[in-house]
A and B are shown apart, each in its own frame.
Chain A
Amino acid sequence: MIEVRNLSKSYGSYHAVQGVSFSVNAGEIIGFLGPNGAGKTTTIRILTCYHPATAGEARVAGFDVFSQSMKVRESVGYLPESVPLYPEMRVEEYLHFRGRLRGMSGGDRKAAIGRVAERCWIRDVIRRPISHLSKGYRQRVGLADALLHNPKVLILDEPTVGLDPTQIRETRSLIRELAQDHTVMLSSHILPEVQATCQRLVIINKGKIVASGTPTELRDRVGGSSRLIAEIRGPENDVAAALRALPQVQNVQTRFENGWTTAQINSPADVREALFSLCVSRSWALRELRREGASLEDFFVKIVAGMDAAAA
């Protein structure tokens, strides 16, 4: 649905985006993740035909964003980061206006407005002037506008910024729902955000793509090893020695408190079963055994920090 090859965009001598390539399949939700100023919005604006790229090419819904701009615009629903709306218009007027811009007939517009008002929960504010609406409602009006013409591709730039926790949850579930019949690309600088909604992530920093894949794939790449936390009733030194003797265990850290040893075990393999057998054979009681996957948050921070260190 979205095909980006070697896309670059410079403002004078500042290179906002450099040689970015990725693709999104139909029906996918892709998260475009990066710290502030990474080039997310710049890339998105190229895809939505707001400004042309300096080099490279991009196709959306099979159309080239430069030479078939109108076709692309027809098949994309776009929610810009700042959610620009005309404050003097009423919600309904605004949606009618946007429908007219897209060349929809009066009947189509009525039906479409009814549909999106239902989906985006703006039924009860439809007659209110936009200037009276709270940030959360404006965001939903912007989303309703993006959905109005039932686009094949939805591009949302930071859709949950400025919303309260309930609204964030609602918006996330709405986006997941929308993915059933739209291809969705959303950007964010907050990791849990994309982790919760997206099937695939593209991480961008300083205008370059640093990683991409499913959340699980990325997590595995963090270093592969996961952490195991175990609480075992036994003397600290014995427990530590026995754990280190287990196959494939790389590192063990222990802490002793009230007769219980809490051990943190690093291992590329899953040693939970071996650990259990060990406890049984030594007749140590085991009251907790949990696996802590390396979090994507760690990964994200590591990548961004690593790039910064390399640049410095």
Chain B
Amino acid sequence: MLSLFCSPVAYIVIFGFLLITGILVWVTQSFEPGKPATLRNVFQWTPFVLTVILPAIAMRSISEEYRSGTIESVATAPVSDFEFVLGKYLAVFFFYLIMLLGTVAYLLLMMYFGNPDVGASVSAYIGLIMLGMFFSAFGVFASSLTNNQIVAWMIGAVPLLLLTTLAYWVVSSTSGIAREIAQQVNFMGRFENFARGSVSLEGLAFFLAASLFFVFLAVKVVESRRWR
């Protein structure tokens, strides 16, 4: 399942991600003398990058199996559809974790040159891991819907990007129960709590549940293919 590492696309994605986050570090002037040494601004922008990049990592996972017909040999091997989807999901998620590991370099540099708030950074990283966990699940779900990688990427990226950018607007423009619901599913708000340094059990539970939900949906989509 970890065949992601064999593909050159993967390295381009990692390189692109590190390049963008690197530029972010520079653009947000986190290293200017006299300013507080913090990656806070970087963490604020990273989710937007992730909405595009994680569906790109995940787009191939299941749709390529459909397209090349290898789904037939996997679906007739003694592996359940749940194991199959979970394997794909974990591959995407681990790939993301390795990618994220690359950004720790910025933090280490900052620790060398300044004195950042390590606690807040660790919390922000937990937030990024949680967010990535959820985005991976959504990306894999998008990939299970189609046998075209590009379509899979768009199904994955567009809703995530919209939700990320419109999250606050939706919360502020609604009222009553709608607002309550919007606030609950506002994953950006939840991520920002992490970025601000507050790790809550509620937040962890939310991301875990959301990820499980989309992995479950992907399993159902793969299963439903058998009946068609």
Contact = CB atoms under 8 A, between A and B. Distances in A.
B173 interface: no
Contact of A50 (B68, B70, B72, B79): B72
Given A50-B226, A88-B3, A80 B78 contact: no
A190 interface: no
Given A88-B7, A89-B3, A89-B6, A51 B73 contact: no
B73 A80 contact: yes
Interface residues of B, number: 19
A88 B73 contact: no
Contacts of B69: 80, 82, 84
B204 to A, nearest CB: 32
B76 A76 contact: yes
A86 B70 contact: yes
A78 to B, nearest CB: 5
Nearest to B7: A88
Chain A, interface SS category: loop
Contacts of B78: 70, 73-74, 101-103
B227 A84 contact: no
B77 A84 contact: no
Given A52-B226, A73-B77, A84 B70 contact: yes
A52 B72 contact: no
Contacts of B77: 73, 98, 101-102
Contacts of A103: 78
Interface in A98-126: 98, 101-103
Interface residues of A, number: 26
B114 to A, nearest CB: 43
Contacts of A48: 76
A45 B227 CA distance: 12
A9 to B, nearest CB: 11
Contact of B73 (A11, A74, A84, A89): A84
B76 A50 contact: yes
A48 B226 CA distance: 12
A80 B72 contact: yes
B23 interface: no
A229 interface: no
A76 B78 CA distance: 10
A52 B227 contact: yes
A145 interface: yes
B228 interface: yes
A80 B68 CA distance: 12
A3 B78 CA distance: 20
B41 interface: no
Residue among A45, A85, A86, A89 with the most chain B CB within 10 A?
A86
Contacts of B19: none
Given A52-B226, A89-B3, A89-B6, A101 B72 contact: no
B75 interface: yes
Contacts of B68: 84, 86-87
Contacts of B74: 101
A91 to B, nearest CB: 14
A98 B226 CA distance: 21
A51 B223 CA distance: 9
A11 B76 contact: no
Contacts of A101: 74, 77-79
Interface of B: 3, 6-7, 68-80, 226-228
22 contacts: A45-B72, A50-B75, A50-B76, A50-B226, A52-B226, A52-B227, A73-B77, A73-B78, A80-B73, A80-B76, A84-B69, A84-B71, A84-B72, A85-B70, A86-B68, A86-B70, A88-B3, A89-B3, A89-B6, A98-B77, A101-B79, A103-B78
